[in-house]
Amino acid sequence: MNRYRQSEELLNRSRRVLAGGVSSTLRAAMKPTPLYAVAGRGARIQDADGHTYIDYLLAYGPLILGHGHEPTVERLLSSMRNGLAYGLQHQGEIELAELLTKVLPCADQVAFSGSGTEAVMLALRLARAYTNRRRIIRFHGHYHGWSDTIFTSFPSTDMKASRKRNVMSQVIRYDNDTHPTEARVIPGTGGQSEAALQDIILLPWNDAEALKDAVALYGSTVAAIISEPVMCNSGCIMPKPGYLELMRELTAANGIVMILDEVITGFRFGLGGAHGVFRIMPDLVTIGKAMGGGIAISGVAGRADIMELIADGTVSHLGTLNGNCVATTAAVATINELSRDGGAVFARMEKSAADLSEGLRQAMKDHDIQGIVNQAGPVFHLMFTTERQVDSFEAFQKRDADLYITFAQEMLEEGVLLRPNGLWYVSAAHGEAEIRETLAAANRVFARWGEDKS
Ligand code: PMP
């Protein structure tokens, strides 16, 4: 009996009219089939075949309060009765901007957009306009959205595709000032403008010497350094002690704009994002995902003298639905909920992630499975690997990504929904019962693997 018959039938119907059958390329990676959802409640989600799963995909991050958080839904419904969008200014956008400038340490001002991709595009544009320079330093394994100006070096879940694109060979050789010829940054997709990438300098992350060398060589032409504060997209790797501080020092000394991409970490590591937790003051941050709790909204926040370029007309910032009232209502409600009891929910989510990480490590040990769990605050990454530790993108690339996809598939049968690439999100709605059930499920899967080996 096929457990996923409805999902498969819906996918077949979809493929006739929806390019690729899914609405974002990554979603096609789920095995045995991309699932169709019908409803979500708290930490659980239901599929079209009537199965219920504990959800660690969480819509790829936004559902920080879980599914259908009742007070947020109520506020949305009452706001929506007054209209879905205006194209005029409204008080909700001021309220949200005031809230953000209060909770985000680096935010003098903010600007809204719809997706993380757009927020990064705006941040890069601001940095280039502010410095009147063109180059951007970014890092292997970080993801900053899919726009032509930045999309490269994102490890595909499909290891074969990522090997074909030869991502590891792209580490910059900075032996002269004409890097684009011998160290070309390779487009992340067909149809992408290579010219749009020619000002990108791609470096290994967490490598202080590489950063110092690149800034020494190119500093006077670099507009921005953009980095995830924690490498959440490739192994949940924490910055080495002093690394972000070095980035701050080098950027300040060389007139470079420091952008932290907090699309994942914002409103997840704490109300003040990872930069609040690490006490690093970037010039700009990009935020998205959790801020809207599941409704599309993103933004750039940062220094007044940089954001000022929007006010004085130097930088165009556009978007039909930017700052729309549904999105701002969702964000204000989400942030207010996260702020309750002095933000106690962040410690709870971190504890859930720690308990899950520790439980998974123990389960792998008990069943003689080689793997690593890297936990960073409320997110963690489970990798099957023989490496002793995964503290670089290079080490991350050595994981057995195909085995993880099999694991995710078997966990699905056990009632647990995982992202196929190894990153787990937890929400405020995940409690002890969910964690217990999840660990029991993982133990059953690993026990079967152990039996197969013996
Ligand atoms: N930056 C980071 C760090 C991200 O993880 C993502 C999405 N995973 C983005 C930017 C792009 O956001 P969006 O998918 O909303 O365009």
- Say what the ipTM of the complex is: 0.99
Question: Higher model confidence: residue 247 or residue 452?
Answer: 247
Question: Higher model confidence: residue 258 or residue 197?
Answer: 258
Nearest CA residue ID for atom 14, ligand 1: 116
Nearest CA residue ID for atom 12, ligand 1: 116
- Ligand 1 centroid to Cα of residue 116, in Å, is 5
Residue 24 CA, closest ligand 1 atom number? 14
Longest dimension (CA), the chain: 70
> Which residues line ligand 1 at a C-beta cut-off of 6 Å?
115-117, 120, 143-145, 228, 233, 261, 263-264, 288
pLDDT digits (tens, 9 = 90+) for 14-66: 999 999 999 999 899 899 999 999 999 999 999 999 999 999 999 999 999 99
Section 435-451 average pLDDT: 96
State yes or no: pLDDT of 172 exceeds 60: no
Section 179-199 average pLDDT: 76
State yes or no: pLDDT of 158 exceeds 50: no
Section 369-390 average pLDDT: 97
Q: Of the residues 118, 263, 268, which should be mutated to test ligand 1's pocket, given the most ligand atoms within 8 Å of the CB?
A: 263
In percent, the amount of the chain with pLDDT more than 90 equals 89
Looking at residue 175, what is its pLDDT?
Answer: 39
Looking at residue 78, what is its pLDDT?
Answer: 96
Looking at residue 153, what is its pLDDT?
Answer: 60
pLDDT digits (tens, 9 = 90+) for 71-112: 999 999 999 999 999 999 999 999 999 999 999 999 999 999
* Rounded distance between C-alpha atoms, residue 393 and residue 227, angstroms: 13
Looking at residue 168, what is its pLDDT?
Answer: 35
pLDDT digits (tens, 9 = 90+) for 264-294: 999 999 999 999 999 999 999 999 999 999 9
Nearest CA residue ID for atom 13, ligand 1: 116
Token pair 């964690």: residue: 435
Structure tokens at 21: 């059958």
CA distances from 163 to 22, 157, 160, 168, 223 (A): 24, 11, 5, 8, 30
Task: Please report the domains of the chain, with CATH numbers, ordered by start residue.
Answer: 5-68+343-453 (3.90.1150.10), 70-337 (3.40.640.10)
Section 178-188 average pLDDT: 58
Section 388-395 average pLDDT: 94
Looking at residue 291, the DSSP 8-state letter turns out to be G
pLDDT digits (tens, 9 = 90+) for 201-237: 999 999 999 999 999 999 999 999 999 999 999 999 9
Looking at residue 272, the DSSP 8-state letter turns out to be T
Looking at residue 184, what is its pLDDT?
Answer: 66
Looking at residue 179, the DSSP 8-state letter turns out to be H
Looking at residue 49, what is its pLDDT?
Answer: 98
CA distances from 413 to 53, 125, 378, 416, 442 (A): 9, 45, 25, 7, 11
- Ligand 1 centroid to Cα of residue 301, in Å, is 16
372: three-class secondary structure by DSSP: strand
pLDDT digits (tens, 9 = 90+) for 392-410: 999 999 999 999 999 999 9
> Which element (helix H / strand E) includes 112?
strand 109-113
State yes or no: pLDDT of 453 exceeds 90: no
Provide the mean pLDDT of the chain.
Answer: 93
pLDDT digits (tens, 9 = 90+) for 333-376: 999 999 999 999 999 999 999 999 999 999 999 999 999 999 99
Looking at residue 164, what is its pLDDT?
Answer: 41
Residue 115 CA, closest ligand 1 atom number? 15
Residue 252: pLDDT band (50, 70, 90) is very high
Residue 228 CA, closest ligand 1 atom number? 3
* Rounded distance between C-alpha atoms, residue 412 and residue 332, angstroms: 33
- Ligand 1 centroid to Cα of residue 16, in Å, is 28
